[in-house]
Amino acid sequence: MKKRINLLLCFSTLLIAVSCGKKEGASAGIPDVGNPQPPVVVVPSPYKPNTTYYGANKYVTFKVGDANSPIILASPHDGTINPSSMPIRDHKDAVTVRDTYLTDLTEEISAALFTKTGVRPHVVFNDVARARMEPNRSLEEAYHKSEAANALWREYHAFLKGARDMVQANVGKGLFLDMHGHGHTKKRVEVGYTVSITNLNASDAVLNDKASTSSIFHLGKTSSYTFSQLIRGDYAFGTLLENEGVSAVPSKQDPRPNSDDYFNGGYCTATYGSRGGGEVSAIQLETHGTDFRMTAADRKVSGGKIADAIIKYMKAHYGLFLDK
């Protein structure tokens, strides 16, 4: 078994490929399946469009979209599988709460985008419980208790990097939306750009100088809009959500988080956005539960609204006319 795990670690970026089909066992409370097994068939990137790739044991999934897709969606924290090879993360700073139904919501957004545009986005998700593996922290701050969890973390991030590289190579620019859930008092979507709350609460003049701290830095450099307009102007992502009937902060309608609870973006948003370079920008969407994602009917409606906001955002800021 030790040799088997070592092989898995050495080839963690080589992943199973199968044709598109229904994901098996998502959010179904799959029982403990014991120690991970190595992939039966492995292929390296580049990934083929409209193909689904799995990591070992199908714990992480990459649904590759169309070659010309500029959009990446990800759901890291809705997993329910509890492998015995990945002990509970019991560090005092480890967050283990599940973002319930976020993968289902992400799939609804993907389906709505395809229906409305004819373009399939790239979708990445993790099915292992957050208590066992944390995809949205650096490996050093994930506080894993096993090399199996570390290997799974690397697989997840290989998929995200693969998706970003495809968008940059095939389209030249794009948008990554990292999907999350919050339990804060206010029922609204918290739109995160890795900009600090202090800077979001500041004047437009101050905020305009903070583009380099954001996960949409590329847009900040290339857009005809000021950075504060990108955050809370007429065509900010939060404003476009508000126009679809989804409360959101920051936005023109709700420009500052002030002293409210608010998540400004995590590790994946910072890593795969454009703060450190590149042409793919990233936004973290922290969604509320009640009336938004806790029932299938709510997820379908919410997914459609987010998809509409994405389409309008791509038109306004990327010059990409995705709608049919």
Report the number of distinct structural domains present in the chain.
2
Q: What is the pLDDT of residues 241-284, one digit of tens each?
A: 999 999 999 999 999 999 999 999 999 999 999 999 999 999 99
Distance CA 280, CA 20 (A): 25
Tell me if 323 is assigned to some domain.
no
Instruction: Give the residue from 141, 170, 199 where a domain finishes.
Output: 170
* Pair (151, 237) in one structural domain: no
Closest CA relative to residue 24, chosen from 47, 66, 52: 52
Place of tokens 């701290």: 213
* Pair (251, 302) in one structural domain: yes
Distance CA 115, CA 176 (A): 19
Tell me if 229 is assigned to some domain.
yes
Tell me if 260 is assigned to some domain.
yes
Instruction: Give the residue from 170, 204, 219 where a domain finishes.
Output: 170
Range of the domain at 288: 174-318
Tell me the pLDDT band of 7, cut-offs 50, 70 and 90. very low
* Pair (307, 264) in one structural domain: yes
Q: Which amino acid is at 98?
A: R
In 10 A of CB 244, how many CB atoms?
A: 17
Q: pTM (2 decimals)?
A: 0.87
* Pair (300, 187) in one structural domain: yes
- Give the per-residue pLDDT at 205: 98
* Pair (62, 14) in one structural domain: yes
